[in-house]
Amino acid sequence: MKILVFVVFALVDLASGAYYLSIPPSPDQSLYDYIAWQGMHGVAWYSGSFDVTWPGNLIIADIGIRLFGVQNWTARATDYLLLQPALLAMHWFLRSAGLSGAAIAAVLVYPIIYVTSGSWMAGHRDIVAMHLLIASAMVAISSKEHINRSLFFAGLILGYSVLLRPTYLAFGPFLLIALRTAISPNFFIGSLSLGIGTVVFPLALAVAGLLTGTLTAWFQDGVGFVLEIYLASQPRVRLFGQLLINLKEQFLWLSATGILALPVWWRQQPQAMMLIGMILTVTISFFVQNQGFAYHLGGLIPIFVLSSLGGINLMIRDGEHLRRLSPIAIIPVVLAAVTVFGLERRVQHAIVAFVHRPDQQVKREREVTEIVSTIDRESSTSDRIFQWGWNYDIAFRSQRLSASRFTDTPLFSHLNKQSCCVYGTWIDEFHNELTKNKPKFILFDLTTLPSGDSAEDQNSPLTVLTRILSTGYEKRLNFDDKVLYQSSR
């Protein structure tokens, strides 16, 4: 039986991986690849490449490039490699609750659910960080005899998840609450062990930033800019409606089965409290970020999978009503049927997209290949380029350094000279960099053109770029949504 399960898992895992690598990376994934690649060629993170992400994502991108090189599928392959220990953590979570059937089902089902969750969901820091929270929870309960040591190592994993999604630090108190019985009466020592473990990775990277002179730049980019410029000013009350819309549009059947199965877990402690803590962590993170993006709820996907499969297993294992064939026996059957139906629909759409790639995706890949080939053929490795917009995969695959440190242009475009304190001066810095490091090519994303009052802003980064384009650039390639300009000098 074990051999059969392993064979089926291997087939599912390989097929899911093959499909996942066919999905183009999201702009965020390509941006991290590009920043990491520049870092490998002497450009410091943050002080040399502007972005608000925390360094955990850049470390993963760096490892991926070292493993797979500069490929369109580098980010996806790296992420799928990281999914494997996440599957082990999910299996471990369900086994720790005595749910061996659900544990087996999870490793067979979750790879399919994960890779079919969408290009802006799978591989993003919210869902990846949740995998780490699950692993952290499992390490915490791995040894009751040495609970404080277990909590220290759980803290290490929790600390790295914070380097992916800082708001996931909220899980720490929930983990301690879930384990309050195991660590009593030495609750303080247990809390201290978890806390010390949690700060190890952040502190190590803070020291590294101090030694490399990038700590101040990281704080300006990843903390100050986010709080002062990027965070939406709209009231958070609107997010309640957005939360429901995202659940409905992104993973309706999965959230329905996960929520309905959750009460069945109540006698399974501390796992039940851990599940609740993870759900609350994602919810808190969603509201703190105040953007309303669907992928900010991505951490719910593995939690709902655990809840659904575990709930079905619990009802079958512990339900006396099933042996009496009472009407309530229909509940686990319905949950299982909905899960199977939802999975089947995902597989169906995935197969269609894999066999017959969408025309828009095929068209864009041809355009990207032509742009990358042109840059490679008509410039040297010492030439600079600049990419404005969302086409970070082109910048990454071109293997040319950016003419400016302001690589995350959609975020940078929020600025104008009236922006507070240091950020207003960044526009002058942007102009000086483009003048000094005159790019051989400038890739311009037409979908980022502003409208309304912002189109007339004479002090915006986009205005600076258009002025640079007027200093001896001509169109080299022209597509529906992007234009490649080449310096004529």
Model confidence pLDDT, tens digit, residues 104-118: 999 999 999 999 988
How far, in Å, CA of 286 to CA of 297, rounded?
Answer: 7
**In CATH, 359-487 is 1.10.246:** no
Q: Tokens 């890739």, residue?
A: 443
Domain borders along the chain are: 2-355, 359-487
The C-alpha angle 366, 370, 371, rounded to 5 degrees, equals 120
- Across 16-46, b (16+ Cβ under 10 Å) vs e yields bbebbbbbbbbbbbbbbbbbbbbbeeebbbb
How far, in Å, CA of 113 to CA of 17, rounded?
Answer: 12
- For 387, phi and psi rounded to 5 degrees? -115, 120
Q: Which of 143, 153, 239, 238 is nearest to 198 (CA)?
A: 153
Beta-ladder partners of 442: 386, 485
426 half-sphere exposure, CB direction, 13 A CA radius: 30
Beta-ladder partners of 478: 483
Secondary structure (DSSP) of 424-459: HHHHHHHHHHHHHT--SEEEEEGGG---GGGGG-TT
Token pair for 243 = 């939360």
pTM for the predicted model, two decimal places: 0.91
How far, in Å, CA of 281 to CA of 275, rounded?
Answer: 10
CA dihedral defined by 209, 28, 133, 205, rounded to 10 degrees? -10
Query: Cβ distance 398 to 35 under 8 Å?
Result: no
Distance of CA 93 to CAs 83, 115, 307, Å? 15, 21, 11
Query: Cβ distance 20 to 122 under 8 Å?
Result: yes
Q: Tokens 């529906």, residue?
A: 480
Cis peptide leading into residue 270 (ω within 30°): yes
**Residue 352: which H helix or E strand, with range?**
helix 330-355
Model confidence pLDDT, tens digit, residues 24-38: 999 999 999 999 999
The per-residue pLDDT for 371 is 96
**Residue 197: which H helix or E strand, with range?**
helix 187-212
The per-residue pLDDT for 488 is 82
Cα 472 to its chain centre, rounded Å, is: 39
Q: Which residues of the chain have pLDDT under 70?
A: 232, 319-335, 337, 341, 344, 352-356, 414-424, 450-458
Distance of CA 8 to CAs 12, 17, 164, 468, Å? 6, 14, 32, 57
3-state helix, strand, coil in the chain (%, to 5): 70, 5, 25
DSSP state of 220: I
How far, in Å, CA of 43 to CA of 49, rounded?
Answer: 7
Percent of the chain predicted with pLDDT > 70: 89
The per-residue pLDDT for 453 is 47
The per-residue pLDDT for 14 is 94
How far, in Å, CA of 289 to CA of 441, rounded?
Answer: 35
Model confidence pLDDT, tens digit, residues 322-350: 555 455 555 566 667 677 767 767 777 77
Token pair for 45 = 């993170």
Tell me the one-letter amino acid at 51: D
Alpha helices in 74-170 (DSSP H): 74-96, 100-115, 125-140, 147-164
